[in-house]
Structure 1
Amino acid sequence: MIKKLLIANRGEIACRIMRTCREMGIATVAVYSDADAKALHTRSADEAVHIGPSPAAESYLVGAKIIAAAKETGAEAIHPGYGFLSENADFARAVIEAGLIWVGPKPESIEAMGLKDAAKERMIAAGVPVTPGYLGEDQSLDRLSAEAEKIGYPVLIKAVAGGGGKGMRKVDNPADFAASLESCQREAKASFGNDEVLLEKWITSPRHIEVQVFGDSHGNVVHLFERDCSLQRRHQKVIEEAPAPGMDEATREEICQAAVRAAKAVDYEGAGTIEFIADASEGLRADRIFFMEMNTRLQVEHPVTEEITGVDLVEWQLRVASGEPIPLKQDELSINGWAIEARLYAEDPAKGFLPSTGRLEHLSIEGDRVDTGVEEGDEISPFYDPMVAKLISWGEDREEAIEDLLDACLDVEIEPVRTNAWFLARLLAETSFRVGDLSTGFIGEHQERLINPPVASLALLESAADDLVTEHHPADGSLMLQSIRGLRLNREPNHEVRLRVDGEAQTVELSDNEVWNGYRRTIVKDGDVRTFFEDGAAFRITSDREDGTGSASAADGAILAPMPGKVIAVDVAEGDQVTAGQRLMVLEAMKMEHALTAPFDGTVTGLEASQGGQVQVEAVLCVVEPAE
């Protein structure tokens, strides 16, 4: 058995791997960048080695530095986690050639499944059903456009390399194909160093079903049943559950056996996932489930499989990498209950899901299982994925698991960083989700209702008003208005309190006999600002000044950078006429592209950004003067 393991990753997954290592008596080595010098995974390991500057390309993606760290500390093995170098066959090969144990599949297996077009051809040969599409070498616009017409719109453009939802574009009509292809290729090139794409038929009632597989060096391959990952946004998973709703035993057997055939076709060892797209227009049927790709690593959503099978997949990885056989045979594995996971991100759904960075001054997360890489006081860095935690619940049945997870999301308290907790709670409460009416388009179809900014309840506002009155107004109610810094208090018996809730003015009237004292949630105070937490959302409340002034903001028409990032495309020039909603430029930040658009019809009167330039948060990038 491995005695010392280096974890070539950071954050939540690094901490998750360390937890199993502690239980197995395996010493751990962390690697960290400048930004992660004080991170939880760095603090939690037995040893930690600095590997470079904050950008991943100069630290976590530099395989030579990671191998050197393993050699320096005497680590026998390297676990890549997920993301970064986890599916890099060259890195896996370099680890093995350095005399270290690679906790993952053989490099040849990674290569076999690394390019989606070649993988699909291999699956066809293995008798695994695949989605109709185009896998050809001719990558010209003319050929790809012609193939899209032949397949029939809508079509999906997919990068042949990589995953994680990047390099994917749905195209609904021929007029949008060229622009979508260009965007997809640019993102694929930036993310994976390969801009080749394939085309697939877009399935109109799609469900994303995946099967956890596991192989060893003794020729054994088992499956650990399926997961449903249909709730996605921009092709990235948001909520995952196991088993899949509506999956009957016959269909389960078909899809799981197809997954095992797929793994055997590449002589697979370790943890992997076979991803399928299901046409659920008539429910889940074995003849309407198609292979999409294989992820040759541990998945973000692996905890739901662990919860229903009682298996520690990281322990299995370490045992198999050490040469042991898979601990259980297929007939010893079974499904027990239901599990569901939500990805808690530092992002603001009400502002287009823009990532929210900064220090976690207040953090409280509870639930059946919380996998996280941060603690109160830690930073959400702009350099990496903004995941705060994974919230996982288990229940005897789906309803119980959902209810427990809903409670966990509603109880999230994080400040001042914004999170998607309230958005997750709304998803879990949706009637159609509760009855299992799922598709990968679910969030888009319900988006308007799901992302409306949360509104503070009357109970919360009364509590906030009472708190302000108590602090600024003595018990006899005799202070004059000007003495209480903008709180407007009428004479007895009523108090009218003016509040500013996240910048919006609001008035609450408190009766002497009915002053609200029953709000029990945490209140965070910072000077004149109080933060109240309700249903997964944070509300910042201050007294409203008599002059009505608030925080400074950019003038109307000023386009500000929503976060630090790099300008990768500028579509306008100074003097151009633009219309409301027209794309002005594209900002790349936190591994995502963000289009900045014109707020109204007008003229570009100032252009401060240029393609390739780095910008800071709230920097003025462009100014649009409204049309008269």
Structure 2
Amino acid sequence: MIGTVLVANRGEIARRVMRTCRDMGLGTVAVYALADAGAPHVREADAAVPLDGDGARAYLRPEALVEAAERAGADAVHPGYGFLSESAAFARAVAGAGLTWIGPPAEAIEAMGSKTAAKALAERAGVPVSAALEPERVTEADLPVLVKASAGGGGRGMRVVRALAGLEASVQAARAEAASAFGDPAVFCEPYVERGRHVEVQVLADAHGAVWAVGDRDCSVQRRHQKVIEEAPAPGIGDGLRERLHDAARRMAGAIGYTGAGTAEFLVGEDGEAAFLEMNTRLQVEHPVTECVTGLDLVEWQVRIAEGEPLPEGGPPAPRGHAVQARLYAEDPAAGWRPYSGTVARFDVPAARTRFAVPDGFGVRVDAGVEAGTRVGVEFDPMLAKVIAWGRDRGDALRRLAAALAGARLHGVGANRDLLVRVLRHPVFAAGEMHIRFLAEQGLDGPVPDGGGADGRAEGARPPGGGVPELALPLADARAVRLSALAAALAEAERNRAEAPVLGALPAGWRNLPSAPHVRRYRGPSGEEVEVAYASGRTGPVPAGDAAGVRVHGAAPDRVELLADGVLRAFAVARAEGAVYVDSALGPVALVPEDRFPEREAAVPPGTLLAPMPGTVARVAAAAGDRVEEGAPLLWLEAMKMEHEIRAPVAGTVAEVARAATRADTGTVLAVVEPDPGADGAL
């Protein structure tokens, strides 16, 4: 019997595993890198062990994790997902130290560790697979193809190639990224299915020969080949295909002597034919949707199976209702998925009934890695939380989840929340007609991992005339932003009055005679300037200018009520890290107060490229003295497990460029391109 579990992970999944351990009466041990010293998972564990090093590297040393377990008195290790969760070497090191590994046998992990080897094994087991092509053997007839890393996952080391002229560059880029992310540069190609669906089957297997296919999930809505929205059961696949997928997953698990929780992933084409992609020998990020519809605690069953307990006779529970999960990422979809960083001032989902557990009835669950005070850096994955809705049917779950996200209060760090709500309410998604290029067709694929053709352009098209894709627009429209800005200005006036050392009992801005309007300016959610005005009089503030028809029903430093267009609305107002956050039924709005007396910004010479975010230079494609064309890649900046391509803004000569492995803060000069004489921006 297991007594204490060391969770060899961090963030949301560490907290999730610890919740089940507490329910089972097990002790918990956390590990943490320097950047995670104050993280929630560290505080919630019974004991915690610091790891040498910072960032992801701290969690990637098997010997250090085994030593931490021994030092803290743990007798079992749960790897979570990511990091070393699919490392056969780590599984062997844990077992070699006499500890219980809460996961599949090292041999099973090894068998599925290479995607090409896994495809060959699947074929021998009678499971349909897509062809694995050597890059040098790809012909025009094979296009389009997807270049993939043989090891690892999460969208790293993947490129779509549509023209042979772009193949070599895409393969080299994928190899470099795979080597950096997984320590293995091996890549292969497979046919790229334009509008396929990503469907997977959850597997549970015990050490006594029983293998369960615990339902299926659809994970087709992806950005940069990484999942964004997942749901169970997979909608619209039909009973025949569902049974074939379940049977294939059971055969795969049986063929490698699998035990514990795992997932077989398939790509389903428009013709309904399925091909095996890979098997993840660990718990999946999207496991909560399966837990909701089946009532199973998959982490609990991982522990039970590790202790030798058999699965009950009779098979897995039939799914009840429908569950949908959205991944809340700290990134900006409208800016090429650029990551956000900062300190979370507030994270609250009022609609949530449970955290890290299945609700006792249809409702909303939240699995979060952050809370107020959590610092979000660029060292780790950008996922802040998972919000899951369980409903009577798919429509019920979608409505619950969209409302829960729209009503969430996330202050201090930007996120993709508005995109998630718009996708959940999109008629194509609501009809169950999504596919892996859904976001790409909306112009939201971004330019980095999808190399496109020989010109290196992204595979998805931006809207006509450019601009922000509709799905990435803020939930609050222009009218809502102006009302929110007015509420922010009035709340600020109330706060100033409350803090005033004298005359604090008078109404805000009280004047015996009418006064000139007070004007406040903010930068809105899309970078636009928002100006609002109000006058002061004997009865308090009176909106002016564009808001002259609005009436103030009540105002306090944290809440303002406005009567606009005959409707009374409440606005909750909070400040954090130089921004004002206004939450209302019209949509969340983040505003940045404009400085009345801004300092003059230093001029940036033409052709200078500044780091848009903190990160590390992963690779460099140009050197000082090189002649480059406008749009040519100069380097790749890695932040939050993703690479962001930095391109030449003009045609010219590279004057300087940062070296690989250079750490950069926001605003650091990464490269300088001296424009050609007579070119735009040339002196």
Q: Give the structure-1-normalised TM-score.
A: 0.90
Does the alignment pair 1:618 with 2:667?
A: yes
Q: Relative to structure 1, is the Cα distance of residues 33 and 435 closer, same or farther in structure 2, using a 3 angstrom cutoff?
A: same
Q: Let me know the Cα RMSD of the aligned residues.
A: 2.5
- Superimposed CA distance per residue, residues 195-254 of structure 1 (whole angstroms, 9 cap, x where no aligned partner): 112221111221000000111111111111110000111110000001111121122111
Does the Cα contact within 8 Å between 1:572 and 1:584 map onto a contact in 2? yes
Instruction: Give the deviation of 1:609 after TM superposition.
Output: 1.6
Does the alignment pair 1:511 with 2:527?
A: no
Does the Cα contact within 8 Å between 1:316 and 1:327 map onto a contact in 2? no
Does the alignment pair 1:421 with 2:417?
A: yes
Moved over 6 A (4+): 547-553
SS of aligned partner of 2:139 = helix
Instruction: Give the deviation of 1:151 after TM superposition.
Output: 5.6
Instruction: Give the deviation of 1:451 after TM superposition.
Output: 2.6
Residue 525 of structure 1 is matched in structure 2 by 575
- Superimposed CA distance per residue, residues 52-101 of structure 1 (whole angstroms, 9 cap, x where no aligned partner): 221222x2111111111111122111000001111000110111111110
Residue 274 of structure 2 is matched in structure 1 by 289
One of 213, 224, 238 as aligned partner of 1:234: 224
Residue 318 of structure 1 is matched in structure 2 by 303
Does the alignment pair 1:374 with 2:370?
A: yes
- Superimposed CA distance per residue, residues 122-155 of structure 1 (whole angstroms, 9 cap, x where no aligned partner): 1111110101232x6xxxxxxx23x211761001
Does the Cα contact within 8 Å between 1:80 and 1:86 map onto a contact in 2? yes
Residue 612 of structure 2 is matched in structure 1 by 562
Residue 356 of structure 1 is matched in structure 2 by 340
CA distance in 2, matches of 1:433, 1:411: 21
The amino acid of 2:403's aligned partner reads: D
The residue correspondences of 1:100-499 to structure 2 (distance < 5 A) are: 100-134=99-133, 144-145=135-136, 147-149=137-139, 152-279=142-269, 281-282=270-271, 285=272, 288-327=273-312, 329-330=314-315, 332-366=316-350, 367=352, 368-446=364-442, 447=444, 448-452=469-473, 456-469=477-490, 471=493, 474-476=509-511, 478=513, 487-488=518-519, 498-499=521-522
Q: Relative to structure 1, is the Cα distance of residues 507 and 556 closer, same or farther in structure 2, using a 3 angstrom cutoff?
A: farther
Residue 594 of structure 1 is matched in structure 2 by 644
Does the alignment pair 1:37 with 2:37?
A: yes
Q: Relative to structure 1, is the Cα distance of residues 616 and 498 closer, same or farther in structure 2, using a 3 angstrom cutoff?
A: closer
The amino acid of 1:607's aligned partner reads: E
Instruction: Give the deviation of 1:415 after TM superposition.
Output: 2.2
Q: Relative to structure 1, is the Cα distance of residues 480 and 173 closer, same or farther in structure 2, using a 3 angstrom cutoff?
A: same
SS of aligned partner of 2:530 = strand
CA distance in 2, matches of 1:65, 1:151: 49
Does the Cα contact within 8 Å between 2:627 and 2:654 map onto a contact in 1? no
SS of aligned partner of 2:434 = coil
SS of aligned partner of 1:384 = coil
Count of residues paired in the alignment: 598
SS of aligned partner of 1:520 = strand
The amino acid of 2:672's aligned partner reads: V
The amino acid of 1:540's aligned partner reads: L
SS of aligned partner of 1:52 = coil
CA distance in 1, matches of 2:634, 2:587: 33
Instruction: Give the deviation of 1:354 after TM superposition.
Output: 1.5
CA distance in 1, matches of 2:194, 2:56: 37
Does the Cα contact within 8 Å between 1:207 and 1:440 map onto a contact in 2? yes
Instruction: Give the deviation of 1:459 after TM superposition.
Output: 3.4
Once the two structures are aligned, what percentage of the paired residues are identical? 43
CA distance in 2, matches of 1:161, 1:463: 48
- Superimposed CA distance per residue, residues 370-407 of structure 1 (whole angstroms, 9 cap, x where no aligned partner): 00122111111321112110000001110010011111
SS of aligned partner of 2:485 = helix
CA distance in 2, matches of 1:453, 1:622: 32
Using the TM superposition, name which of 377-386 and 223-232 deviates more. 377-386
Does the Cα contact within 8 Å between 2:487 and 2:573 map onto a contact in 1? no
CA distance in 2, matches of 1:182, 1:355: 25
Structure 1: state its 5+ residue gaps.
Answer: 137-143, 489-496
The amino acid of 2:115's aligned partner reads: K
Instruction: Give the deviation of 1:463 after TM superposition.
Output: 3.9
Structure 2: state its 5+ residue gaps.
Answer: 353-363, 445-468, 497-507, 533-545, 553-561
CA distance in 1, matches of 2:632, 2:15: 43
The amino acid of 1:505's aligned partner reads: E
Instruction: Give the deviation of 1:513 after TM superposition.
Output: 5.8
The amino acid of 1:558's aligned partner reads: T
- Superimposed CA distance per residue, residues 302-338 of structure 1 (whole angstroms, 9 cap, x where no aligned partner): 00110111100000000000010124532x5201110
CA distance in 2, matches of 1:528, 1:621: 27
CA distance in 2, matches of 1:298, 1:356: 27
Does the Cα contact within 8 Å between 2:484 and 2:589 map onto a contact in 1? no
- Superimposed CA distance per residue, residues 92-128 of structure 1 (whole angstroms, 9 cap, x where no aligned partner): 0111111110000000000111111111111111110
Q: Relative to structure 1, is the Cα distance of residues 529 and 272 closer, same or farther in structure 2, using a 3 angstrom cutoff?
A: closer
CA distance in 2, matches of 1:117, 1:292: 10
Q: Give the structure-2-normalised TM-score.
A: 0.83
Residue 4 of structure 1 is matched in structure 2 by 4
SS of aligned partner of 1:370 = strand
Residue 501 of structure 1 is matched in structure 2 by 524
Using the TM superposition, name which of 577-586 and 162-171 deviates more. 577-586
Instruction: Give the deviation of 1:558 after TM superposition.
Output: 3.1
The amino acid of 2:298's aligned partner reads: L
- Superimposed CA distance per residue, residues 459-510 of structure 1 (whole angstroms, 9 cap, x where no aligned partner): 34224225425718624485765xx8xx44xxxxxxxx65443653233422
Using the TM superposition, name which of 364-373 and 576-585 deviates more. 576-585
Q: Relative to structure 1, is the Cα distance of residues 412 and 469 closer, same or farther in structure 2, using a 3 angstrom cutoff?
A: closer
The amino acid of 1:303's aligned partner reads: P
SS of aligned partner of 2:284 = coil
CA distance in 2, matches of 1:207, 1:269: 27
CA distance in 1, matches of 2:659, 2:604: 20
